[in-house]
Amino acid sequence: MATKAQIDANRRNAKKSTGPKTPEGKASSRRNGLRHGLTATTCMLAGEDPEALLDLLEELRDKYDPQDTDEEFLLERMAKARFRYGRIMPLEAAIFNLRLAIDKAPEPLTAAQGQASQRAWAYMRDANGGNALTKLARYETSLLREYDRCRQELEKLQKIRAAKAAPTPPGDGLRGEPDSPINSSRSTGCSPKYSPGKTSSNRARISTSSKRPFRPLVPVVHVKFRYFSLHPRSEG
């Protein structure tokens, strides 16, 4: 069991090691975990460069700027999907070359149609056998879906984070002053002045401010009605 003096000495030594301080040192130390996980020897094929995957991850980091572990995890999945997608074309060419080497097309067919017939023959032989090319196409589709799904989820998380950090709208105190009343003659006691630009409003003010009685503009027509009887008057 460690003594109190040893524990204190370990704490003092830990304070002296603050980690990398320069941007280059921080960027290099950030890759330490990836070298033992994402780009481990067991995860890479022969001839593949682990630094290529790290460079792809750094490129995606610069573009999306992850801010938490969830965004970082989605970013790593995107990098792995793109890196594995780069294996498909060389692998497809290798399958074709292998079939061309072991399954030769008949001589009459090759003489009639050339090299294209040999490739078609190799594809047909693969489709009737292990069907590796069709499985490789499905693998390509799954990688594309993985990349698109992670990208959409990452953009959704970043939109939610940006919405939470957005400033609140201004309150009622920043609203403008209320408009002045249309008819100010009631409060001041002054008669309204005529303004050529506001004909309808001036007429309304003059009509309301005058003390004369209201006179209708339409003349009143008195109509007399006479009643007639439809039955003839009897004589006698």
pLDDT at 102: 85
Q: For residue 218, give both structure tokens.
A: 């339409």
Residue range(s) defining the domain that contains residue 112: 35-165
pLDDT at 12: 74
- pTM (two decimals): 0.55
Say if 102 falls within a structural domain: yes
Q: How many domains does the chain have?
A: 1
pLDDT, averaged in runs of 10, over the chain (236 residues): 75 66 61 52 80 91 92 93 94 90 82 82 87 93 96 94 79 54 51 51 53 59 56 56
Say if 83 falls within a structural domain: yes
- Residue pair 147/81 in contact by the 8 Å Cβ criterion: yes
Q: For residue 103, give both structure tokens.
A: 């399954």
pLDDT at 34: 47
Output the CA torsion sign for 130, 133, 138, 139.
positive
Say if 185 falls within a structural domain: no
Percentages of the chain per state (helix, strand, coil), in multiples of 5:
65, 0, 35
**26 Cβ contact list (under 8 Å, min separation 6):** 19, 20
CA atoms within 13 A on the CB side of 124: 8
Q: Give CA–CA dist 131/144, Å, rounded.
A: 21
- Residue pair 143/125 in contact by the 8 Å Cβ criterion: no
Say if 1 falls within a structural domain: no
Q: Transcribe 92-154 into DSSP letters.
A: HHHHHHHHHHH-PPPHHHHHHHTHHHHHHHHHHHHHHTT-HHHHHHHHHHHHHHHHHHHHHHH
